[in-house]
Structure 1
């Protein structure tokens, strides 16, 4: 997000308005309500949305240590868990994303803004697709004594069109 934000501050020939929206802890009902309220802005091609979130916060200090040995080392299990969430986000289905979070408890700190965004996509009339472009971990956990934070970047674009919305 910070890398992209610097481009918003470059001089340009037209005024740019930035409207920050802070999304805290919301119920599923409120995520849907805000998504519905904001959807009309998604349909306006003059608008751009940036949704920011880390992904899995794994380790004792984060009180989250989901580990599925089928994936091998701890860091591969974390990646598999994150990629499962990323695949669901790419479907644009907020209900499936909620089920994933309920089932695995993944500590995605921006789960509420992501859910609002998914509800916006569900409600707006513009056909928008999401694709993840990068995934990283702060460290590769090898044992349960290690900790890590995951980062994923995605681009959402109007189907058949140019990039318009970014999630990271």
Structure 2
């Protein structure tokens, strides 16, 4: 008997009309002009409502060549549920308005057996949007290619645990049939986010935010998890997927495959000009096998 995770954010964060959703995704993917590459083994993509970040996300998902991929690991931050660990889904199917993605129960069991993961109940799973916002894109990209997902909710991990989960998951990177979808928005700026870092040397506020995000993106591209940690502790940039990104950096430095991350798109929900303004940044990256 299937245990279904409903697309709880369809109809609010993105359209629940299948035809309209297909058209939107096709439009955004087409507009990127990207060539699909079998060397792309992972993406970092935003998870805001599609009216804000749908277009930016296409610059991550548009790189994926689905031909040889049979499994997608989803790493998303936890927004509502506190855990110092990573949690696994207890669902067997993730539904979307345009198709369903079965959960890879075999890998879930394998991860469970390590004793390092907790389980999230369906309520926690459905309340969280960070992985759900990647699902319609995955359904679209993998149309006609059978693929299973391994959803991992990444909690408020300390540095040691980020490294531990990275080492534990690294072996999956070496299997070219596995793919990794890492969910993160970038700077959440404004008093409503309790974050108003502003370096006047950069010019207007939105340029200061961009400089701060770009600094973080450059560090992520080096693949150095410690340097990313250092950057976060220095600037406290409100990157909500900092833990999933850190785990992914540890994964790529602990596997035998050489992985290179490159950012392809950066956008802001609005351009902040005064201290009363607010915005969220969106950045999309592809992680490629570096020959």
The alignment's TM-score, normalised by the length of structure 2, stands at 0.53
Question: Structure 1 segments of 4 or more deviating over 4 A?
Answer: none
* Change over 3 Å in CA distance of 1:129–1:9 after alignment to 2: closer
Deviation of residue 5 (structure 1)? 1.9
Instruction: Name the structure 1 match of 2:288.
Output: 157
Instruction: Name the structure 2 match of 1:16.
Output: 147
Instruction: Name the structure 1 match of 2:272.
Output: 141
In 2: Cα distance, 1:131 partner to 1:4 partner? 20
Deviation of residue 6 (structure 1)? 3.0
In 2: Cα distance, 1:147 partner to 1:29 partner? 33
Deviation of residue 97 (structure 1)? 0.2
* Change over 3 Å in CA distance of 1:23–1:38 after alignment to 2: same
Instruction: Name the structure 1 match of 2:208.
Output: 77
In 1: Cα distance, 2:206 partner to 2:260 partner? 28
In 1: Cα distance, 2:226 partner to 2:135 partner? 29
Is 1:46 aligned with 2:181? no
Highest RCO, 1 vs 2 (Cα 8 Å, sep ≥ 6): 1
Give 1 or 2 for the bigger CA radius of gyration.
2
Is 1:5 aligned with 2:133? no
Instruction: Name the structure 1 match of 2:167.
Output: 36
Number of residue pairs aligned between Structure 1 and Structure 2: 158
In 2: Cα distance, 1:2 partner to 1:44 partner? 22
Instruction: Name the structure 2 match of 1:125.
Output: 256
In 2: Cα distance, 1:143 partner to 1:156 partner? 35
Instruction: Name the structure 1 match of 2:49.
Output: none
Instruction: Name the structure 2 match of 1:62.
Output: 193
In 2: Cα distance, 1:21 partner to 1:3 partner? 17
Q: Secondary structure at the match of 2:154?
A: coil
In 2: Cα distance, 1:67 partner to 1:3 partner? 36
Q: Which runs of 5+ in 1 are unaligned?
A: 161-168
Is 1:98 aligned with 2:242? no
Higher strand share: 2
What RMSD in Å do the two structures reach over aligned CA positions?
1.1
Q: Which runs of 5+ in 2 are unaligned?
A: 1-133
Instruction: Name the structure 1 match of 2:219.
Output: 88
Q: Secondary structure at the match of 1:49?
A: strand
Deviation of residue 4 (structure 1)? 2.8
The alignment's TM-score, normalised by the length of structure 1, stands at 0.91
Deviation of residue 8 (structure 1)? 4.6
In 1: Cα distance, 2:137 partner to 2:201 partner? 37
